[in-house]
Each structure stands twice: as structure tokens, then as C-alpha cells.
Amino acid sequence: MFMRRIIGLLMMVGVVGFVGCGGDKDSSTGPSEETTKWRKDLGEGFANSVQQTVDGGFIVTGGYVGFLLKTDDQGNQKWRKTIEVVGQCKSVQQTVDGGFVVTGYHDNDDNDYSEDYGLFLLKTDGQGNEEWRKNFGEGWGKSVQQTVDGGFVITGYDFDQEKDDGGFLLKTDGQGNEEWRKNLGGTSPNAIQQTVDGGFIVTGQDLPFHVFLLKTDGQGNEEWREKFQPGEGFSVQQTADGEFVVTGHEFYDIFLLKTNGLGNI
């Protein structure tokens, strides 16, 4: 119960940061001086993921040479650490011990483009110093979350030619040791969240290029899957009423989609 409360707090901090991005007190009046509170340039690189931290600051990760960058609540850089990986760090989350967990992929061949990408999970302390790293074979890690049992769950895309190319869920213990892995064939997932019943909700893109929403139990076994309009889902949250909200794009148009607890509109 204690672990569940702390992880819930971390998730709420991230949601508050997301909700607060707008800045306008009344969007009907158009842009105002408060639309942008501040903007910081943080040097060269590709940023892929940001989360507000419990101290009110922010943690950012990206690539092409991986990095982890911490700022204060005004976006001023406090420290930046290089993650020794040629590839992309795609997702970061603060952990209950005050450290950080990162997933992404490294290029096994050091080429500009290759399907020989390796999935990794990396844990640091609160200053970005690496504590451990685990590799899980071919694939891209797209999204990571700490689970209520203190472990981690990753979703992403698998290039293993001995299996059907497609999405996966991978669950580890608190030291990054694999506990189970489930194939979500025919999908390219982008985001995952643990649900209040201990299961998981995933969104992304399936074939042929539609937004999907997929619910599993706590062992990654699929419970239901819904497909929506053409496009791609990039973020999903369970709402306070036990339902789900998804955002993404449909041919360069932004959408926000709300479903009931079974994924129905």
C-alpha cells in the first residue's frame, strides 16, 4: 500500500506538470502574456521525454548519444549526464527512491539505420549516476513505468525475425531482471500505464495504421483491444472515473479521445 501511494504521487506530479502546460487563464480570449512562462535552450541533442520531479524540477532524456538532464523548477540546468549508448533514450521516470529509470534502444551495429537495435533498461541514482543496466535483445523501448511492486514495465517494438514483428510488454523486478514478456503482435506501442486494478493500458498504432487501446491483466495477458480512427496514440492515462484518455495525431491533426473503462467511445 505504501509503494502504491508513493507511485501514485509520482504519477500525479507528472499529470499536474502536463495539465499546467497551457498557461492561459481563459483560452477563449486567445494567446496572452502568460501563454509561455519560460523557455530554456539546453544545448545540442534530441529530447524525447520529460517528467516533473518531486522537488518541483524536471528530468529530460534523449539521444542520439544518450543523456539525462536535470533542471530546477525554472528550467535551469543543474546537471547533465551522458548515457553511454549510441541510440535513443526514449522514456524516463523518477523512481520511489529518488533515482531515475530510462529505456530506449542502442544500435548494435553503430550504423545510421539498422533493424539490429537492442532494448535496454537503465537505473540511476538521484544525481544521474548509473547503478545498473540490463539488455533484453533486439527491440525498441518506447515507454517505462515503475510498478506498484517496485519493479518496472516496458512497452515497445520487437524486431526479432524469429517472431512476428510487433509490440511487446516486458516486466522486470526492481533490479531489472526479466520476469515475463508478452507479444502484442501487429502493434507498435508508444505508451503504457499501470491501471488501478494492477493491470496495464497501452496505446500506439496497429496495422493498418490505426490508433489502438489495449488492456491487460497484471501478468500482461490481453483482456481487450479496441481500434479507432487512422493515426497513432502517443500517451494514455487512466482518469479519476476509471476510464481512459488518449492523445496523438491523425495525419498531422491532434486528437484527444475519451473512452469508458472497456475502451468504448
Q: What is the pTM of this model?
A: 0.83
Could you give the CA distance from residue 164 to residue 156 in angstroms, rounded to a whole number? 14
pLDDT at 138: 86
The residue-averaged pLDDT of 231-235 equals 96
Residue with the larger pLDDT of the pair 117 and 153: 153
* Alpha carbons within 13 A on the beta-carbon side of 106: 17
In this predicted structure, the answer to whether residue 174 has a pLDDT above a threshold of 80 is: yes
pLDDT at 103: 97
Asked whether the beta carbons of 49 and 89 are under 8 A apart, the reply is yes
pLDDT at 113: 47
In this predicted structure, the answer to whether residue 151 has a pLDDT above a threshold of 90 is: yes
In this predicted structure, the answer to whether residue 2 has a pLDDT above a threshold of 90 is: no
Task: Please report where in the chains the cell 511492486 appears, as a residue.
Answer: 149
In this predicted structure, the answer to whether residue 35 has a pLDDT above a threshold of 80 is: no
- Give the C-alpha distances (Å, rounded to integers) separating 240 from 65, 196, 235, 264: 38, 10, 16, 17
pLDDT band at 98 (very low <50, low <70, confident <90, very high): very high
In this predicted structure, the answer to whether residue 23 has a pLDDT above a threshold of 50 is: no
Asked whether the beta carbons of 191 and 233 are under 8 A apart, the reply is yes
The residue-averaged pLDDT of 50-61 equals 97
pLDDT at 116: 66
The residue-averaged pLDDT of 14-35 equals 45
